[in-house]
């Protein structure tokens, strides 16, 4: 810690910072905790899909009592969460009903509470107005996320035509629980997936092999721990130089370790061989390993360019190609999960990171391209895009800049590695079958523009 940093974190420093408007950030609720207080359902039309999904969530996962919404829009006391069934909202005039339920909720929602809107994505022959309204909902959601205080968040779930209640359960469970602590102002899509109720169990990854690259530290170690908590048999991968830390993570979670540079030509084959030796196939391949070699473009030479693109993007593609070959023993199982790690600075662009932005935006492009092609094997392909997360990678950023990065989001703080890990674990759940081709930002609604 630098002298400046020490002074900033001293009691006097905190007081000065608070006077300057840098208040203590709100405490977030993490893990499998439900919101404090009732989860209130507000149906805006005849649809009962969200009510059915919440009923399943209550039955399978002991979600706190779900109100029928009869007391909306007044609410009376404070509430833990508001879930709006806006599936019948298709006209501009329908948005008034949404405003009417959101307005009191914005005041009534508890600290670290949730506002969740489930709506149609448009584009299904509903006409231009329905498409415009679907985007209007995104604008509303992003704004509500910025206005909510005390660590409360807003989420919009686009449920496609044909989605059944069970298809929504893992998404609503993730969004309402503390697992989504640092996911704010986000919208993503759920498609019909014929999820059956027996897939909604508590340890959804029991015995399934999940591979995590870059697992020796930081976000990768948190992903390995979180997937293990969900019951997975984790194969933790990292470079030989990180062998000791890698072994420690693998031992701690009862997983196995593989020392491997993912840019090696035989990286995919070595991962598959390791899994095949245990008589298994891969349920989830999490491509977390990544590097930065920051320089302004005018100073970016071919080496910095090549190394970042190779580790962050090309290696992932080479490994996928091997593991997706059905003939390869120890490759991806049908119904499996591929998860990449993008970055908000990649998606929005960031000074000094042309190479990194190329690689991370490339990951988002890869996900969109692969998802439809692998749907016939029920393999989902998604990415998470972390914002500012407290790790060794970000600890290298100079202090003042680091403190600014921490603050420029709706939750006024940096995220924890576990926040990224929880989002990945949600995507890896068998019950998340309907979520594919998505990039979910884990950034506390970062204002960099992503
Ligand atoms: N920390 C953040 O704020 C942040 C933000 C956005 C995205 N990300 C992304 O999240 C991922 C993890 O980031 P982190 O902050 O934990 O980074 P980190 O530097 O702390 O950890 C990265 C791990 O990847 C490993 N690794 C690097 N090159 C490798 C290779 N060729 N083969 C195998 N392993 C390799 C490293 O040894 C290290 O253990 C990266 O993809 C990063 O780009 C991080």
User: Is there an atom of ligand 1 within 6 Å of 409 CB?
Assistant: no
pLDDT of residue 299: 97
User: Is 396 in contact with 350 (CB distance < 8 Å)?
Assistant: no
Residue nearest to atom 7 of ligand 1 (CA): 343
User: Is there an atom of ligand 1 within 6 Å of 341 CB?
Assistant: yes
User: Is there an atom of ligand 1 within 6 Å of 428 CB?
Assistant: no
Q: How far is the CA of 306 from the centre of ligand 1 (A)?
A: 16
Residues of the chain with pLDDT under 70: 1-22, 65, 67-76, 198-201, 450
H or E stretch covering 405: helix 399-407
pLDDT, tens only, 109-159: 999 999 999 999 998 778 999 999 999 999 999 999 999 999 999 999 999
User: Is there an atom of ligand 1 within 6 Å of 259 CB?
Assistant: no
Residue with tokens 């969004």: 175
Residue nearest to atom 44 of ligand 1 (CA): 386
Question: Could you write out the three-class secondary structure of 264-328?
Answer: CCCHHHHHHHHHHCCCCCEEEEEECCCCCCCECHHHCCHHHHHHHHHHHHHHHHHHHHHHCCCCC
Q: Which of 220, 226, 292, 363 for a ligand 1 pocket mutation test, highest count of atoms within 8 Å of Cβ?
A: 220
Residue with tokens 């490339």: 362
User: Is there an atom of ligand 1 within 6 Å of 311 CB?
Assistant: yes
pLDDT of residue 376: 97
Residue nearest to atom 12 of ligand 1 (CA): 219
Distance CA(185)–CA(167), nearest Å, equals 22
pLDDT of residue 396: 86
Distance CA(283)–CA(231), nearest Å, equals 12
pLDDT of residue 7: 63
- Phi, psi (rounded to 5 degrees) for 412: 55, 35
Number of helices (H), then strands (E), belonging to the chain: the values are: 16, 13
Q: How far is the CA of 253 from the centre of ligand 1 (A)?
A: 20
Instruction: Identify the DSSP state of 23.
Output: P
Catalytic residues, which ones? 356
Residue 443 CB contacts under 8 Å (≥ 6 apart), including other chains: 182, 184, 344, 385, 386, 387, 388, 409, 415, 450
Residue 344 alpha carbon, nearest atom of ligand 1: 6
User: Is there an atom of ligand 1 within 6 Å of 239 CB?
Assistant: yes
Residue 220 alpha carbon, nearest atom of ligand 1: 16
């Amino acid at each position: 810690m630098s002298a400046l940093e020490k002074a900033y974190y001293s009691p006097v420093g905190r007081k000065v910072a608070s006077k300057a408007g840098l208040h203590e950030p709100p405490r977030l609720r993490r893990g499998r905790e439900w919101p404090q207080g009732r989860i209130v359902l507000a149906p805006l039309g005849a649809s009962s899909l969200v009510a059915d999904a919440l009923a399943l969530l209550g039955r399978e996962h002991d979600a706190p009592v779900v109100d029928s919404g009869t007391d909306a829009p007044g609410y009376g006391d404070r509430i833990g969460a508001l879930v709006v069934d806006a599936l019948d909202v298709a006209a501009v005039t329908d948005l008034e009903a949404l405003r009417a339920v959101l307005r009191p909720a914005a005041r009534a929602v508890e600290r670290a509470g949730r506002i969740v809107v489930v709506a149609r994505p448009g584009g299904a022959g509903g006409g231009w107005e329905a498409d415009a309204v679907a985007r209007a909902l995104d604008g509303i959601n992003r704004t509500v996320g910025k206005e909510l205080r005390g660590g409360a968040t807003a989420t919009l779930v686009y449920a496609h035509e044909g989605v059944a209640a069970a298809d929504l359960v893992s998404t609503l469970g993730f969004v309402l629980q503390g697992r989504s602590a640092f996911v704010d102002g986000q919208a993503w899509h759920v498609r019909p997936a014929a999820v059956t109720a027996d897939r909604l169990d508590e340890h959804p990854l029991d015995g399934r092999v999940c591979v995590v690259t870059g697992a020796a530290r930081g976000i990768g170690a948190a992903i390995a721990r979180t997937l293990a908590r969900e019951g997975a048999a984790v194969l933790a991968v990292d470079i030989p130089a990180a062998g000791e830390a890698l072994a420690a993570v693998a031992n701690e979670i009862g997983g196995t370790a593989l020392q491997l540079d993912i840019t090696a030509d035989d990286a995919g084959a070595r991962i598959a061989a390791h899994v095949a030796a245990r008589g298994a196939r891969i349920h989830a391949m999490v491509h977390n390993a990544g590097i930065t070699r920051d320089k302004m473009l005018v100073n970016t030479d071919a080496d910095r360019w090549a190394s970042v693109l190779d580790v962050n993007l090309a290696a992932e593609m080479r490994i996928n190609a091997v593991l997706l070959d059905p003939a390869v023993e120890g490759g991806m199982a049908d119904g499996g999960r591929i998860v990449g790690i993008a970055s908000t600075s990649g998606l929005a662009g960031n000074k000094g990171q042309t190479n990194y932005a190329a690689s991370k935006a490339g990951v988002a492009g890869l996900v969109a391209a692969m998802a439809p092609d692998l749907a016939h094997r029920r393999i989902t392909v998604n990415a998470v895009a972390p914002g500012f997360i407290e790790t060794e990678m970000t600890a290298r950023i100079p202090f003042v800049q680091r403190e600014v990065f921490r603050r420029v989001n709706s939750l006024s703080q940096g995220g924890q590695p576990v926040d990224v890990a929880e989002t990945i674990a949600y995507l890896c759940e068998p019950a998340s079958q309907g979520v594919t081709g998505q990039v979910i930002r884990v950034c506390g609604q970062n204002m960099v523009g992503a």
